[in-house]
A and B are shown apart, each in its own frame.
Chain A
């Protein structure tokens, strides 16, 4: 899958570079440090066990939420976003895309959009952070194309039969972001309050935004 070029900024550290013996020495150095800090009561084992997991599972989708909230509150911005999402997202200062284009697809009363990467796990990470584990799972990647309604229902989103479901397959070149419907009852909410309502799942298209 190496020709399916990915998206991290050019980073020289993506391949391992140490021999087994060197790795063992580093392991020991970390283990010693960790143990000494725990013994001194400076850090707890429990905290350490959770940190990496948190960062591996959640690198916040706040950038995308701000894009959505701006689109809900600024019609001119929304138009630019739907016409050229890459540029409109960059306007808010979010970069990190490496030549991939962002495309924003809008949900409405009649249309629901959902995003997948059937080939691997392409994902608009500069705006959504880390992909959730299920996004990368073979069942989601294959089944959401064949039976989007069934998969969405399993994920807790029951869509009425008269709503058209559109599935967007991400690639190395194009990353999709769903612009969810603004929830009712938020007419007087500020942009920041709205951004706080927007979830990662809503921007992938497997949930709605709740007020």
Chain B
């Protein structure tokens, strides 16, 4: 029973920050996306920031790109590019971004 579980606050994020999923499964196109995903969650789990802090950066980054489900734009950053940028911003705000 000590098995670690996915945090629904992350797994079921609503709105524009929602994790890309196909048939319920997470969609990673490249290994770096999976690693960025793991980094953001692990650092939050270890108490370096609250998930909301990361999520606000994520939503702001996505909003700034101006892409919506109705107006997809493949030239804009992909989801995990936003994710990575948000991770860097969150870490920078905490003074944890390695120089």
Contact = CB atoms under 8 A, between A and B. Distances in A.
Interface of A: 6-18, 23, 26-27, 29-34, 36-37, 40, 42-43, 47-52, 54-56, 58-60, 62, 120-123, 125, 128-131
Interface string B29-63: 11110111111011101101000000000000000
Contacts of A59: 6, 8, 11-12, 24, 26
A59 B11 CA distance: 6
29 contacts: A8-B20, A9-B69, A10-B69, A10-B70, A11-B21, A12-B72, A13-B27, A13-B79, A13-B80, A15-B74, A16-B30, A18-B81, A26-B81, A30-B35, A30-B84, A37-B96, A43-B39, A43-B43, A52-B34, A54-B5, A54-B6, A55-B41, A58-B6, A59-B6, A59-B12, A60-B11, A125-B24, A129-B24, A131-B25
A9 B18 contact: yes
Nearest to A172: B23
A42 B48 contact: yes
Contacts of B48: 42
A208 B41 CA distance: 33
Contacts of B18: 9, 11
B25 A33 contact: no
Contact of B88 (A33, A40, A128, A131): A33
Closest 5 pairs (CB-CB, A-B): A125-B24, A36-B98, A13-B79, A12-B72, A16-B29
B3 to A, nearest CB: 8
A14 B26 CA distance: 10
B23 A125 contact: yes
A137 B52 CA distance: 36
Nearest to A36: B98
Nearest to B85: A29
Contacts of A128: 24
Contacts of A129: 6, 11, 24
B32 A27 contact: yes
Nearest to A56: B26
Given A18-B78, A129-B24, A30 B39 contact: yes
A52 to B, nearest CB: 5
